[in-house]
Amino acid sequence: MKLLIMGAPGAGKGTQASALAARYDVPAISTGDIFRANIKNGTPLGVKVKEIIEAGEYVPDELTEEIVADRLAQDDAAGGFLLDGFPRTMHQVHFLDRHLADRGERLDAVVSLVVDPDVLVERLLDRARIEGRADDNEDTIRRRMEVYAGQTAPLLYHYEKLDLLVEVEGTGTVDEVRERMLDAVDRHTAAR
């Protein structure tokens, strides 16, 4: 299975990605987690992306794509993967399309978690209190929402046209959303 999970900041991508990856026995690959690990360890990549991420902006496409290409080349991703937080721009969509086409592969489904914007801001402020993520302060949250709406939301149309989009209502408890999502993906992939 080759899957994507998309959603605005705070939609619950990271949380639900683990369940989805476990269900299909594929690695969950989060570009955000890769960047955060590099920042924490002070690697050259981390130094390069720290300020960008803390400002709520996107890391440049070429840099992000290089990281994804390296990660997808690892053995555990040979049989499938779940990308969490990639692609986020049309440039990245084209990169992924080419990457898969070169290997004669294609995506199976693109999950989009849909959550009301007011709920999103509340969740992110809660997460800021609990996890202390540097990009979870109010100004950055607002900026991340804008960037998502401008650059990433349009990607949903692209995947809808390809009949890959599985929209899942992301409000409710973590368990409710997980069951709803797994059912929806099962139904989508069974129907293909």
> Which of 7, 12, 85, 170 touches ligand AMP by CB under 6 A?
85
Among 11, 17, 29, 64, binds ligand AMP (CB under 6 A): 64
Provide the 8-state DSSP code for 121.
H
Write b or e for each residue in 19-37: b if 16 or more Cβ atoms lie within 10 A of its Cβ, otherwise e.
Answer: bbbebbebbbbbbbebbbe
- Minimum gap (Å) between residue 53 Cβ and ligand AMP: 4
Q: What is the DSSP letter of 57?
A: P
Q: Is 88 a catalytic residue?
A: yes
Considering the complex, what minimum distance in angstroms separates the CB of residue 191 from ligand AMP? 28
What does the H/E/C string look like for 92-106?
Answer: HHHHHHHHHHHCCCC
Shortest distance (Å) from residue 92 CB to ligand AMP:
6
Query: Where in 135-174 is the site for ligand AMP (CB under 6 A)?
Result: 135, 144
Residue 53 has a CB neighbour count (10 Å cut-off) of 20
Q: Which of 23, 48, 50, 133 is catalytic?
A: 133
Residue 184 backbone zone (phi > 0: left; psi -120 to 50: alpha; other: beta): alpha
H-type alpha helices, 31-173: 31-40, 44-54, 61-72, 90-102, 117-131, 138-147, 155-161
Q: Does 9 bind ligand AMP (CB under 6 A)?
A: yes
Query: Contacting ligand AMP (CB under 6 A), which of 8, 53, 111, 177?
Result: 53
Active-site residue identified among 13, 36, 71, 178: 13
142 included as an active-site residue: no
Nearest position to ligand AMP, beta carbon: 32
Looking at residue 74, the DSSP 8-state letter turns out to be S
Q: Does 71 bind ligand AMP (CB under 6 A)?
A: no
Active site amino acids: 13, 88, 127, 133, 144
